[in-house]
């Protein structure tokens, strides 16, 4: 393995790279010569990079492009680390982590390609779920975002923006804290500067944060206020449909004055899953807690005798809406796992076979009661 740091003259360069998030993990995966740089933007096959001293534009080498097309090598996204030679990317370094979702259009469609993945950003320290306290406020959507982030093995933070537009924003804060266990929740008003100082703790030296949320949730406005000036275009929210325009069209890594980096993302309209790595269990820790006392270890929490989860619903300790959301995502992720290991035809046949057996069982039981 060839090192990329010349100890005689490049300690300053190493320090600049460290300030951008470079660490021993990336150093140990270097297997060729080249200048390390971080991808700060991607635009139609052209990559904007920063090496700590300057920004440059690069293209992929033929080998990297070919391997990426075969899925044997990573295709660079914002936040990736790469090696370059004469403005050509010669190696994409492995990721410490990545925020990814199912390809757009796959949610809720059983015939969609379950293996389609869209990587949103790479090598992150924090993912901020940004939700506006206007028509954007939706607890069920926040549950999906949490499941998505946990599935990717990342750390979530919830930012409730536009607090000045809500009559009782503290009630929303309490409501979210009751379903997002051990997740920091911040109440923010970019207009009044409320809560902005609390967010700076995530933007320390070398830290990378990305923001996800609906269009019009206030992500770009939040970025501008944290930066101290307008560097990202913002737009108004439609009063008729309560949705914002896609003023953010790319994923740019912004170097913030606090020392960290912030990635703004276009509004997400569809939260489709790609990974199934315990995200539901983490996002619904209360249901998992109640489930420990169920009579049967394989309890489905629907109609079994001795189900502690259903008991919690009856006692008012758990809402029916939250349990319904849990069911929905469990089914979705179970189907995703099946699709990734079985053919779609086989999955569909097994699904309809189970439905058929359930109908026959219900009919048989009803005949017995007559």
- DSSP of 213-261: E-TTSSHHHHHHHHHTS--S---PBPTTT--B-----S--EEE-TTSSE
Domains of the chain: total: 3
Same structural domain for residues 182 and 256? yes
115 and 227 fall within a common domain:
yes
pLDDT band at 250 (very low <50, low <70, confident <90, very high): confident
Long-range contacts of 347-355 (CB under 8 A, 24+ apart): 347/110, 348/110, 351/110
Residues 86 and 129 in one domain: no
In this structure, are 219 and 297 located in the same domain?
Answer: no
Domain boundary among 92, 110, 126: 92
d(CA 162, CA 184): 17
pLDDT at 2: 47
Within a domain: residue 272? no
Q: How many other CB atoms are found less than 10 A from the CB of residue 275? A: 21
- Dist CA 51 CA 73 (whole Å): 22
72 shares its domain with 219: no
Question: Could you tell me if 240 and 107 lie in one domain?
Answer: yes
**6 part of a folded domain:** no
- Give yes or no: residues 157 and 255 share one domain: yes
Phi/psi class of residue 288: alpha, beta or left (left: φ > 0; alpha: ψ in -120 to 50)? alpha
CATH number at residue 77: 2.30.30.140
Closest CA to 276 of 79, 142, 114: 114
2 belongs to a structural domain: no
228/323 same-domain check: no
Quote the pLDDT of residue 196: 95
Q: Identify the DSSP state of 366.
A: H
pTM to 2 decimal places: 0.83
The reply to whether 3 falls in a domain is no
| Domain CATH for 289 | 1.10.40.50
Q: Within a domain: residue 250?
A: yes
> Does residue 175 lie within any of the structural domains?
yes
Least confident of 65-74, 111-120, 170-179, 345-354: 345-354
**330 in any annotated domain:** yes
Q: Is the pLDDT of residue 106 over 80?
A: no
Confirm whether 228 is domain-assigned. Answer: yes
**CA angle, 177 then 159 then 42, to 5°:** 140
Does 294 have pLDDT greater than 80? Answer: yes
144 pLDDT exceeds 90? Answer: yes
Can you tell me the mean pLDDT for 63-90? 90
| pLDDT computed for residue 3 by the predictor | 45
104 and 84 within one domain: no
Does residue 345 carry a pLDDT above 80?
A: no
Domain boundary among 58, 73, 92: 92
What distance in Å separates the CA atoms of residue 178 and residue 282, rounded to the nearest whole number?
Answer: 14
Rounded to whole angstroms, what are the CA distances from 10 to 21, 250, 318? Answer: 17, 33, 58
According to the model, what pLDDT value does residue 207 have? 98
Do 322 and 250 fall into the same domain? no
* Domain C-terminal end among 51, 77, 92: 92
* pLDDT score, position 348: 57
Query: Do 202 and 126 fall within a single domain?
Result: yes
User: Within this chain, do residues 106 and 154 fall inside the same structural domain, yes or no?
Assistant: yes
Out of 31-35, 36-40, 292-296, 310-314, least confident range = 31-35
Q: What is the CATH number of the domain that holds 185?
A: 3.40.50.300
Q: Which two tokens stand for residue 203?
A: 């933007």
* Average pLDDT of span 88-98: 96
Q: What range does the domain containing 328 cover?
A: 279-369
């Amino acid at each position: 393995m060839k090192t990329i740091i010349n100890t005689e003259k490049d300690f300053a360069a190493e320090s600049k790279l460290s300030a951008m998030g470079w660490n021993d993990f990336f150093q140990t995966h270097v297997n060729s010569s080249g200048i390390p740089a971080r991808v700060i933007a991607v635009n139609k096959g052209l990559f904007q990079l920063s090496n700590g001293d300057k920004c440059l534009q690069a293209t992929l080498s033929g080998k990297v492009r070919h391997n990426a097309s075969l899925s044997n090598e990573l295709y660079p996204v914002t936040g990736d680390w790469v090696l370059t030679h004469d403005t050509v990317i010669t190696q994409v370094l492995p990721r410490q982590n990545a925020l990814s979702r199912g390809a757009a259009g796959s949610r809720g469609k059983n015939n969609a390609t379950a293996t389609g993945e869209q990587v949103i950003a790479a090598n992150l320290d924090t993912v901020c779920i940004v939700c506006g306290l206007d028509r954007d406020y939706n607890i069920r959507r926040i549950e999906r975002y949490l499941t998505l982030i946990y599935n990717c093995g990342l750390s979530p933070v919830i930012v409730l923006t536009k607090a000045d537009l809500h009559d009782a924003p503290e009630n929303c804060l309490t409501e979210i804290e009751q379903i997002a266990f051990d997740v920091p929740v911040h109440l923010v008003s970019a207009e009044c500067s409320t809560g902005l100082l609390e967010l700076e703790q995530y933007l320390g030296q070398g830290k990378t944060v990305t923001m996800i949320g609906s269009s019009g949730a206030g992500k770009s406005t939040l970025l501008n206020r944290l930066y101290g000036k307008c560097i990202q275009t913002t737009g108004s929210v439609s009063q008729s449909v309560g949705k914002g325009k896609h003023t953010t069209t790319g994923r740019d890594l912004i170097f913030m004055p606090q020392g960290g980096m912030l990635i703004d993302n276009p509004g997400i309209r569809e939260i489709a899953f790609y990974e199934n790595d315990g995200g539901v269990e983490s996002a619904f820790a209360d249901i998992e807690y109640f489930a420990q006392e169920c009579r049967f270890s394989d309890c489905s929490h629907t109609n079994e005798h001795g189900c502690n989860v259903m008991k919690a619903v009856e006692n008012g300790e758990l809402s029916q809406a939250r349990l319904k959301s849990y069911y929905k995502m469990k089914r979705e992720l179970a189907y995703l796992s099946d699709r990734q290991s079985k053919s779609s035809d086989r999955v569909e046949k097994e699904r309809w076979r189970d439905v058929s057996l359930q109908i026959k069982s219900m009919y048989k039981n009803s005949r017995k009661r007559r």
